[in-house]
């Protein structure tokens, strides 16, 4: 039982990361119907910005005196950085192709993904980078189940970001504009919504969430690598589709499911086949519900 609970916690943490990355996929897909292969690279860039800024703080000595300020500041800056990066990528590589076939955009995204990954490798070096220890790795023991403070913080931050995103999409003007653009581009343009701006914002928000995930992954697992975006990118893409692509609640659910399946497959069946089980679950689920768990574009929740 303890074993099971512990694995649940492991799965939820991993699933939370996938959910954060999947949100960016799903939002971008909702607005311009593009599978943004470069999204995993935004996640990696976020992780790197986090390590750069936190190491800088640590060398200045701020990290020990104001850990929360440093962490919060780094996270905001990294999110801003990735938002800028995503907007630049969108303007250069996707905007000119908006009228072309969707597959042309997909190819452009793949090119950008290779470019950014190698850009990270060249500027940051081939060796992995290590996060400075922000908080001591204290562990909370509940019986035989142990939760680290890092895990609690990660879960809390993930939940907070998800709630914040929901509020942004459903309560604010820009959120409404995003939903309108996702539903009908022509109609929303007619009522005076600037599609270019909305698309830029969508990329920025999605990349910001990916950056937050990148920092948390970096802190939780301890290191970042230039190619760390690729595998989680694919998993998050699977999560987004599993939940019903374009559907925000679906993406969160999908992320959690993929995370849990992966952990339980590794725990109870076999580590080497865990990805096989994740994909089998995905395929089985899609066979019975071809538009994902929550369904695609069911109401106005699509972004």
Partner 1 sequence: MTLEYKKIFQKWALGLAWFYLLLWPLMGITPDGLSFAPSLKVWATVAAGTAFFLFIWILKQQGRLDFFSRPAISLGRSVGKAVGALPNKLLAVAAIAALCLPPLFAGRYVLDVSINVMIYVCLGLGLNIVVGLCGLLDLGYIAFYGVGAYTYALLSINYAVPFWLCLPVAAGMAAIAGCIIGYPTLRMRGDYLAIVTLGFGEIVRLILNNWMELTNGPNGILGINAPGVWWPNWADGFTLEHIWLKKLPYLYYVILGLALFTILAVHRLNYSRIGRAWEAIREDETAAELMGVNTFRLKLLAYAMGAVFGGLAGAFFAARMRFVSPNSFLFIESAMVLSMVVLGGMASIPGIILGTLALIALPEFFRDFEQYRMLAFGGAMTIMMLFRPKGLWPAKRLGQRSEESQ
Partner 2 sequence: MQRIITKALVLSALCVLLISGTAVAKTLKIGTLSPITGPYAADGNDIKNGAVIAAEIFQQKGLLKGFDKIEVVSEDSACDPRQAVAAANKLLSQGVAFVDGAYCSSATIPSSEVLNEGPIPMITPASTNPDVTLRGLKYMWRMCGIDAHQSKSAVEFMAKVLKAKTVFIIDDKTTYSQHLAEYVAEAAKAAGIQVLAHDHVNEGDMDFSAVLTKIKQANPDVFYMSLQNSAAGIPFIKQLRQAGVKAQVLSQDAVYHPQFIEKAHDAAQGVYFTFGFIDDTTEMYKTFLKAYTAKVGGQPGGYAFYSFDAAWTMLTAVSKAGSTDPEKIRAEMMKMDMPGVTKRIKFDQNGDSGSNYIIQVVKGDKFVNYYDPSTGKFY
Q: Examine residue 35 and tell whether it contacts partner 1 (CB under 8 A).
A: yes
Is the Cβ of residue 6 or residue 46 nearer to partner 1 in the bound state?
Answer: 46
Separation of CA 241 from chain center? 14
Distance CA 142, CA 154 (A): 18
Q: Examine residue 19 and tell whether it contacts partner 2 (CB under 8 A).
A: no
Q: Examine residue 231 and tell whether it contacts partner 2 (CB under 8 A).
A: yes
Q: How far is the CB of 109 from partner 1 (least distance, A)?
A: 8
The closest alpha carbon to 19, from 165, 236, 164, belongs to 236
Q: Examine residue 155 and tell whether it contacts partner 2 (CB under 8 A).
A: no
Q: How far is the CB of 186 from partner 2 (least distance, A)?
A: 42
Contact with partner 1 (CB under 8 A): which of 4, 66, 69, 114? 114
Structure tokens at 117: 């990954």
The count of residues in the chain is 303
CB atoms within 10 A of CB 100: 11
Contact with partner 1 (CB under 8 A): which of 145, 234, 267, 298? 234
Q: What is the DSSP letter of 133?
A: -
Pairing type for strands 223-224 and 129-130 reads antiparallel
Q: Examine residue 110 and tell whether it contacts partner 2 (CB under 8 A).
A: no
Q: How far is the CB of 103 from partner 1 (least distance, A)?
A: 5
Q: How far is the CB of 219 from partner 2 (least distance, A)?
A: 11
Contact with partner 1 (CB under 8 A): which of 8, 58, 195, 267? 58
Residue 262 sits at φ, ψ, to 5 deg, of -60, -45
Distance CA 280, CA 104 (A): 29
Is the Cβ of residue 6 or residue 29 nearer to partner 1 in the bound state?
Answer: 29
C-beta separation of 53 from 78 below 8 A: yes
Q: Examine residue 275 and tell whether it contacts partner 1 (CB under 8 A).
A: yes
Is the Cβ of residue 86 or residue 213 nearer to partner 1 in the bound state?
Answer: 86
Q: Examine residue 121 and tell whether it contacts partner 1 (CB under 8 A).
A: yes
Distance CA 90, CA 133 (A): 34
Answer with the entry of partner 1, partner 2, none that 228 interacts with (C-beta below 5 to 8 A by kind): partner 2
Is the Cβ of residue 3 or residue 273 nearer to partner 1 in the bound state?
Answer: 273
Half-sphere exposure of 275 (CA within 13 A, CB side): 7
Half-sphere exposure of 100 (CA within 13 A, CB side): 11
> What DSSP line would sit under 144-195, residue for residue?
TEEEEHHHHHHHHHHHHHHHHHHHHHHHSHHHHHHHHHHH-HHHHHHTT--H
Distance CA 3, CA 57 (A): 38
Q: Examine residue 232 and tell whether it contacts partner 2 (CB under 8 A).
A: yes
Residues between 178 and 197 that touch partner 1 (CB under 8 A): none
Q: Examine residue 106 and tell whether it contacts partner 1 (CB under 8 A).
A: yes
Q: What is the DSSP letter of 294?
A: S
Q: Which residues bind partner 2 (CB under 8 A)?
A: 3, 6-7, 10-11, 13-14, 118, 121, 126-130, 133, 137, 139, 146, 148, 150, 217, 221-223, 225-228, 230-232, 262-264, 266-267, 270-272, 274-275
Give the interface with partner 1 as residue ranges (CB under 8 A): 29, 33, 35, 37, 48-49, 52-53, 55-56, 58-59, 81, 84-85, 88, 92-93, 96-97, 99-104, 106-108, 110-124, 234, 237-238, 241, 245, 272-273, 275-276, 279-280, 282-283, 286-287, 290-292
């Amino acid at each position: 039982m303890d074993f099971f609970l512990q694995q649940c916690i492991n799965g939820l943490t991993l699933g939370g990361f996938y959910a954060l990355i999947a949100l960016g996929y799903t939002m971008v897909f909702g607005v311009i119907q593009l599978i943004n292969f470069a999204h995993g690279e935004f996640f990696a860039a976020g992780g790197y910005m986090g390590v750069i800024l936190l190491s800088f703080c640590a060398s200045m000595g701020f990290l020990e005196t104001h850990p929360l300020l440093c962490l919060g500041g780094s996270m905001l800056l990294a999110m801003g950085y990735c938002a800028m990066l995503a907007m630049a990528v969108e303007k250069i590589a996707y905007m000119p192709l908006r009228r072309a076939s969707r597959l042309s955009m997909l190819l452009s995204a793949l090119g950008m993904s290779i470019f950014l990954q190698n850009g990270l490798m060249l500027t940051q070096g081939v060796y992995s980078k290590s996060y400075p220890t922000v908080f001591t790795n204290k562990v909370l023991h509940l019986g035989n189940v142990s939760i680290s403070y890092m895990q609690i913080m990660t879960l809390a931050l993930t939940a907070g970001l998800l709630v914040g995103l929901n509020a942004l999409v459903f309560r604010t003007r820009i959120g409404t504009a995003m939903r309108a653009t996702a539903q009908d581009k022509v109609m929303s343009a007619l009522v005076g919504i600037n599609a270019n701006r909305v698309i830029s914002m969508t990329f920025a928000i999605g990349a910001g969430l990916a950056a937050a995930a990148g920092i948390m992954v970096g802190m939780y697992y301890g290191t970042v690598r230039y190619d760390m975006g690729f595998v989680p990118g694919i998993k998050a893409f699977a999560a987004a589709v599993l939940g019903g692509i374009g559907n925000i609640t679906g993406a969160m659910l999908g992320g959690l499911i993929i995370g849990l399946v992966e952990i339980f497959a590794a725990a109870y069946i076999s580590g080497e086949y865990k990805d096989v089980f994740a994909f089998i679950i995905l395929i089985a689920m899609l066979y019975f519900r071809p538009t994902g768990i929550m369904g695609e574009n069911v109401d106005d929740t699509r972004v």
